[in-house]
Amino acid sequence: MFESAELGHKIDKTTFRSEVPKLREALLDAQFDLRENGSFPVVILISGVDGAGKSETINVLYEWMDPRFLSTLAFAAPSDEERERPFMWRFWRALPPKGRMGIFAGSWYSSSIAHHIAGKLSRGDLDQRMDQINRFEAMLVNEGALVLKFWFHLSKDGQRQRLKSLERDPRTAWRVTRESWARVKTYGKLQEAAGHVLRMTNTPWAPWIVIEGTDDRYRSLTVGKIILDALQKRLADTRDQGFPVAPPIVQKTDSLDVLTALDLTQKLDKKAYETQLAKWQGRLAELVRHPAFAHRSLILAFEGADAAGKGGSIRRVTAALDARHYQIVPVAAPTEEERAQPYLWRFWRHIPRHGRVTIFDRTWYGRVLVERVEGFCTEADWLRAYAEINDFEHELHEDGAIVVKFWLQVSDKEQLRRFKEREKIAFKRFKITDEDWRNREKRPAYHAAVCDMVDRTSTGTAPWTLVEADDKSFARVKILRTICERLERALTDEKPKNGKD
């Protein structure tokens, strides 16, 4: 993949000076159009060989474009906070919003390549990481992002000459370090690893662009023109960027499904409830203080029918926890900031550190529930969301998170009774809205969506627990018992490999 980047590409000074003003003007116009359009972000990855001009190119782009709408994200070794979360967490947080451009210097590829060369990441683990990255980039593109990946290349002799040239010039000598020369010695390993990585991640939706880094003028002009061309073409493309990526939902031939099979008549009397509640709250308090939990985290996801008792169940869970170590995240309609990012972004930002608990009151499953039923996203969006959600939860599991998901189900009759009760009791009126009544009319559509959700996202590492919630006492005890049982199994198992560098 590197042959064409070893041909000695050069641009003379006269040509460079004549072309740059026009290019800069066009880039600024395209950047303005991007801001005005506001429907997609631009993600630019700058990677490559040491001395090939990565930082110089970023500086040129800042000079040529409006820096107010251009951000650079540089990633070195992860901090302690970052190490205690999934590998991709810090990159999710740094994604540019729609209408802006983000340059990643040291992206999700850099540490993986470096650790493979150092023998800290096997070829099998590297391949798994690249597969994870391919799915992540596919998600970005499906969410509308324009992803441009540049690899700046130098031959081994070219790298050596480049470093010597930089070292001789007092203005650039600071760029050359001991590490720079050390990497010359591992050039062959880098080429082998980089060639493999580029081959595996050179996808139709996010292909690599390999550029020779020997000549500054050639490199800068080429990168600027590629960005301009890609941006102009994308701005001019008015076609729907989405497309279905999953087969249609299979229609049922009978009335039996995961919800109709539930026995909603199950109950607990008051005495049994109080005994069981105390037992499982006490056990939960012990488990989150277990020494092994310091290397894990707990993520509780609550979904359910309106008035199914999610809030009351959550309060019984938190009663067993230290308030300093848990967070409740209530999920409503996305804000403007959240709508400017991929839909999973607002959940990634709340992923807990090791030793902590995060409780989501409504979750990322809104994409395949309310957004699907109410038409807030396209069919292509919610069809591909099943796989994206499974990937998300798998990453959490690999990092050591214990993901426990609940769907609380109530009968139509019991839901109606609770709605009317809420209207009559003054301190419960805030819980009932016109939207709740309207949603009752769409109960069959939500029923089908829930069944599809469970069928497609109940995995071995993050299974769904369906809770019979007509009796609140029974539901609360089942939820607490399930959390404790999942925690006990996880804490007695070997801590899963988190794959972090």
As beta bridge partners, residue 152 has 48, 211
H or E element at residue 316:
helix 310-318
Neighbours of 450 (CB within 10 A): 24
C-alpha separations of 63 from 54, 145, 220, 233 in Å: 15, 23, 11, 23
pLDDT computed for residue 499 by the predictor: 46
* Percentage of the residues of the chain whose pLDDT score is greater than 70: 94
pLDDT band at 242 (very low <50, low <70, confident <90, very high): low
Which pLDDT tens digit goes with each residue over 474-492?
999 999 999 999 999 999 8
Secondary structure of 49-104 in the HEC alphabet?
Answer: CCCCCHHHHHHHHHHHCCHHHEEEEECCCCCHHHHCCCCCHHHHHCCCCCCCEEEE
Which pLDDT tens digit goes with each residue over 154-167?
887 877 787 787 77
pLDDT band at 317 (very low <50, low <70, confident <90, very high): very high
pLDDT computed for residue 49 by the predictor: 86
pLDDT computed for residue 28 by the predictor: 97
Q: Are 228 and 31 in contact (CB under 8 A)?
A: no
pLDDT computed for residue 483 by the predictor: 98
pLDDT computed for residue 240 by the predictor: 66
Residue 379: pLDDT above 70?
yes
For CA atoms 13, 18, 19, 23, the dihedral sign is: positive
pLDDT computed for residue 17 by the predictor: 96
Sorted by where each begins, the domain ranges of the chain are 3-236, 270-410+468-492
Strand order through the sheet with 101-105: 70-74, 101-105, 42-48, 146-153, 208-212
Residue 390: pLDDT above 80?
yes
Residue 356: pLDDT above 80?
yes
pLDDT computed for residue 166 by the predictor: 76
Average pLDDT value for residue range 180-206: 85
Average pLDDT value for residue range 432-444: 79
pLDDT computed for residue 222 by the predictor: 95
Secondary structure of 339-380 in the HEC alphabet?
Answer: HCCCCCHHHHCCCCCCCCEEEEECCHHHHHCHHHHHCCCCHH
pLDDT computed for residue 243 by the predictor: 55
pLDDT computed for residue 93 by the predictor: 93
Q: Is-same-fold flag (3-236; 270-410+468-492)?
A: yes
Residue 170: pLDDT above 60?
yes
| CATH of span 3-236 | 3.40.50.300
Which pLDDT tens digit goes with each residue over 252-292?
667 789 999 999 999 999 999 999 999 999 999 999 999 99
Residue 214: pLDDT above 60?
yes
Average pLDDT value for residue range 188-202: 90
Which pLDDT tens digit goes with each residue over 450-474?
999 999 999 999 999 999 999 999 9
Which pLDDT tens digit goes with each residue over 71-126?
998 888 889 999 999 999 999 999 999 999 999 997 899 989 989 998 999 999 99
Average pLDDT value for residue range 388-392: 96
Q: What is the CA radius of gyration of the chain?
A: 27
pLDDT computed for residue 1 by the predictor: 66
pLDDT band at 248 (very low <50, low <70, confident <90, very high): low
Query: In this structure, which CATH number among 3.30.300.30, 3.40.50.300, 3.30.1540.10, 3.40.50.1100 belongs to the domain 270-410+468-492?
Result: 3.40.50.300
Its pTM stands at: 0.86
Residue 238: pLDDT above 90?
no
